[in-house]
Chains A and B, each alone.
Chain A
Amino acid sequence: MPGVLVFCEVQDGKLKKASREALSIGRKLAEAAGGDLTAFASDESAADDAGRYGAKKLFVTGAGGYNPEMYTAAMQAAIAQTSPSIVLFGGTSNGRDLAPRLAARLDAGVASDVDRLEWAGSKLKARRPVYSGKAFATVEVSSVPAIATTRMNAFPAEESGGGAAEVVEVSAPAESKAKVVETKVTQSGELSIVEADIIVAGGRGLKEGANFSLIRDLAHAIGGAVGASRATVDAGWIDHQHQVGQTGRVVSPNLYIAAGVSGAIQHLAGMSSSKHIVAINKDPEAPIFRVADLGVVGDLFTILPALTEEVKRAKAH
């Protein structure tokens, strides 16, 4: 059947946002291909959520937490039952971990980190960033199934109002050569820029590393992640995981606030697909204003604290 199967992940009893996004684009692709949307998850707690996003069936493993070997086998079992044309993974670290392994088992192709998907002429067409977002490539996946991992925040999560998905158990091997022993919050415990809905990013205009506190304060106030330009990372002001625009750190948040970021091409490439961009810079000629929707020419050292205060006041109401 020419349907779509979506790998889903559950967190705190709900589908992860990346899974809801993948289901939403999966439903559109299933309609285009003339088949059903089905989902896969660790357990049946996802059945209501999966149905709400249009899945008719939910395959569950009962294998417990994520394990590449067990989940690959269980996904293969689900695919054997539905023979989907397309298999999608939300672009979480687990989704990106599992997709290649499954693809090799099925002799299938994977388009990674895609931000557009289309079913055309019985093939999956995908758009994806290459060279750290400096260019985009359109690729065609010709295998059956065609596999893709979706970029977080690139596809809107839209409910379709369906009832709970029918739960179908698929078996997974009981043994694995790898076992998770612990999951711990790292020192920073900060939201990753890749998954964040809002990013507040700082650049060289901050003048010194300690001033990243201005960025952090605003990010914490609005529940966003902290981003950084390459120059600030190279200067040792902030950890490299915050660097926007390196390979694998191309972001598409709903809102991107850049303060003191002039906008080197690598940075722009990494964030220009954000839905809404606000730039604060003292230089009116800064390239960042060419990708921004809203710009403020001014001193970030007065604007950021004022904005953070305003946000706190607005939230208190």
Chain B
Amino acid sequence: MEILVCVKRVPDAAENEISVGAEGADIRRDDLVYSVNEWDNYAVEEAVQIVEREGGNVTIVSMGDGDAEEVVRREMAMGATQGLLLTDAAFDGSDGLGIATILAAAARKRQYDLILTGALADDGAGQVGGMLAALLDWPYASVVNKIETKDGKSLRIGREIEGGTQEISDIETPCVLSIQTGINEPRYVGIRGIRKVASIEIPVLDAGALGIDAATVGATAANVRRIDYFVPQLGASAEMIEGSTEEVAGKLVDLLKAKGGIR
């Protein structure tokens, strides 16, 4: 199976304090620690496991500048044979649909059976996978937490939905799936693994090479524009409840009654 996995270099939300620049137009990025989007590790691991079972190749693709190459190489070290970097100043400021348009152009360059993305990334939108599928006119499923290969023409997949339920579907290939964390245990990538892929050339494709009309992507084409950012301020201190355990429990129960916790 030929599998394309889309990955993104993001500020590591757990490691960074986020602050907003003077104009509110962007977060301060100078001191941020970047890494691969956590979800993407699960997508790459799943792709590598499928190829280990069934044969084929995993290709890692990322849209971004030269800094994204490090992330592509790290993910390749998990067991991918090829990498692709999509870089063009015209891509800057793309919204979800712009990014999906760029990825779709890359996907059309070869015949893939399956495209995986992380279910979410740093901006929490979770929309590129669904848009990519629509542009390719492929079926799509989101928050996938199980993939079984069936007969070469379709996959049996599980999706995490509300109410502690899992939906099991059969989906024809080629398709796009967005992968939820917890679907597998992403393998450790050591220095040796990264050295193994260090000599593999990663082609860099720009708008021209991808056959994209630059007017359809980037900031000017974006339907969603950021106006400003702000960081929520912590409030004043809480009102403190004091007393014996029974008194405290009694007061909390009163609160629960008022807030719908006890009906």
The interface of chain A, by Cβ under 8 A from chain B, is: 68-69, 72, 92-94, 96-105, 107-113, 125, 128-132, 134-143, 146, 176-186, 188-192, 194-195, 197-198, 222-224, 230, 239-241, 246-248, 250, 254-255, 265-266, 268-269, 272-273, 275-279, 287, 289-298, 302-303, 306-307, 309-311, 314-315
A255 engages B260 (CB within 8 Å): yes
B100 engages A104 (CB within 8 Å): yes
Cα–Cα, bound, A186→B166 (Å): 6
Q: Which residues of B contact A177 (CB under 8 A)?
A: 138-139, 171-172, 175
Contact (A190, B164) CB under 8 Å given A140-B224, A254-B259: yes
B107-138: which have CB < 8 Å to A? 119-135, 138
Cα–Cα, bound, A88→B162 (Å): 19
Q: Offer 15 A-B interface pairs, CB within 8 angstroms, sorted by A.
A: A100-B128, A111-B224, A113-B125, A134-B17, A139-B225, A177-B172, A178-B170, A186-B165, A247-B120, A247-B124, A248-B120, A255-B260, A303-B249, A310-B252, A314-B262
Comparing B52-60, B73-81, B191-199, B237-245, the segment that makes contact with chain A is: B237-245
B228-263: which have CB < 8 Å to A? 228-232, 234-242, 245-246, 248-250, 252-253, 255-257, 259-262
- Of A269, A278, A294, the contact of B232 (CB 8 Å cutoff): A269
**Which DSSP category, helix, strand, loop or mixed, fits chain B's interface?**
mixed
- Chain B interface residue count: which class? 35 or more
Q: What distance in Å separates the Cβ of A228 from its nearest Cβ neighbour in chain B?
A: 14
Decide yes or no whether B214 CB sits under 8 A from chain A: no
Residue of A nearest to B27 (CB): A135
Cα–Cα, bound, A107→B131 (Å): 10
The interface of chain B, by Cβ under 8 A from chain A, is: 11, 13-14, 16-18, 20, 27, 38-39, 95-97, 100, 119-135, 138-143, 156, 159-172, 175, 181-182, 222-232, 234-242, 245-246, 248-250, 252-253, 255-257, 259-262
- Given contact pairs A184-B165, A296-B240, A314-B262, enumerate 14 new A-B contacts (beta carbons under 8 Å): A68-B141, A96-B126, A100-B134, A101-B133, A104-B134, A105-B134, A109-B224, A130-B123, A135-B27, A137-B123, A138-B230, A140-B224, A294-B239, A294-B252
A141 engages B224 (CB within 8 Å): yes
A266 engages B14 (CB within 8 Å): yes
Count A-B contacts at CB 8 Å.
295
Residue of B nearest to A132 (CB): B13
A247 engages B261 (CB within 8 Å): no
Q: Which residues of B contact A183 (CB under 8 A)?
A: 161, 165-168
Cα–Cα, bound, A94→B186 (Å): 26
A289 engages B237 (CB within 8 Å): yes
Q: What distance in Å separates the Cβ of B186 from its nearest Cβ neighbour in chain A?
A: 12
The 6 closest A-B pairs by CB, nearest first: A109-B223, A100-B130, A104-B134, A295-B238, A292-B238, A100-B127
- Of A176, A181, A239, A254, the contact of B139 (CB 8 Å cutoff): A176
Residue of A nearest to B262 (CB): A314
A134 engages B260 (CB within 8 Å): no
Q: Which residues of A contact B123 (CB under 8 A)?
A: 130-131, 137
A112 engages B127 (CB within 8 Å): yes
A143 engages B14 (CB within 8 Å): no
Residue of B nearest to A142 (CB): B223
Residue of B nearest to A66 (CB): B167
Cα–Cα, bound, A188→B171 (Å): 26
Q: What distance in Å separates the Cβ of B143 from its nearest Cβ neighbour in chain A?
A: 6
B257 engages A314 (CB within 8 Å): yes
Contact (A314, B253) CB under 8 Å given A97-B130, A104-B134: yes
- Of B97, B141, B235, the contact of A103 (CB 8 Å cutoff): B97
Q: Which residues of B contact A128 (CB under 8 A)?
A: 124-125
Residue of A nearest to B253 (CB): A310
- Of B13, B141, B163, B245, the contact of A306 (CB 8 Å cutoff): B245
